[in-house]
Structure 1
Amino acid sequence: MKDPLKTGFNDRIAAAAEAKKAMLARMKPKPTVTDPNFVDRATRKALELEAIRAQRAAEKEAAKAEQEAKRQAELEARAAVAETELEAKRRERKERKAAAKEEARLKKELRRAH
């Protein structure tokens, strides 16, 4: 008579061996699949560093340009002040010469009148 539940010694040994094989197969390392777009940590870090350096260089260049613009504006302001002072001196000298000329003309007329 055959055992329908297969509870015989040999059957139990065979089932235990199958279970052991299945457990070992589960523990066996599986072949890895690498991502084609994978970027390793060092490369990613280098890219981030490069981006930060580029940003800082741009900020430094902008600050330098701003400082140059301020310096240029200051030079232009000084030149404008100097030009204004020169114009004021010229105008004053013209007025002084005109006043002296007028005074000389009046003296001449006064002499002619006497």
Structure 2
Amino acid sequence: MNDSMEEEIYALEKEKDEMWLKVEIMTRTKFFCHETPPLIRTYFSNEANEVIDELQDLIRRINNLSNIHLESRMMRELGIEKGMSPEEYLWKVKLSHMCIS
């Protein structure tokens, strides 16, 4: 599961790089920071604004997928059972510490 998720993130990152190039060509602007997409502006063409909107959606998808991957890895490392909420885990840990002391 993790390998397929990492492959999907890698493919989306590659698509993001291609889309950034498309945005730079359509807006005739070189963006040095590719962390956040540019905002939609009236002085950009409609086509450029559509590509910027697609880029924003793609970056959101990448961030969501990365967060899911990070959360599942963290839960696996902590030994949290699948389907257990963070509140249930904290309750379980608190009870286990109460039994020890």
TM-score computed with the length of structure 1 as normaliser: 0.31
Of Structure 1 and Structure 2, the greater helix share is in 1
Relative contact order (alpha carbons < 8 A, sep ≥ 6): 1 or 2 greater?
2
Bigger Rg, which one: 1
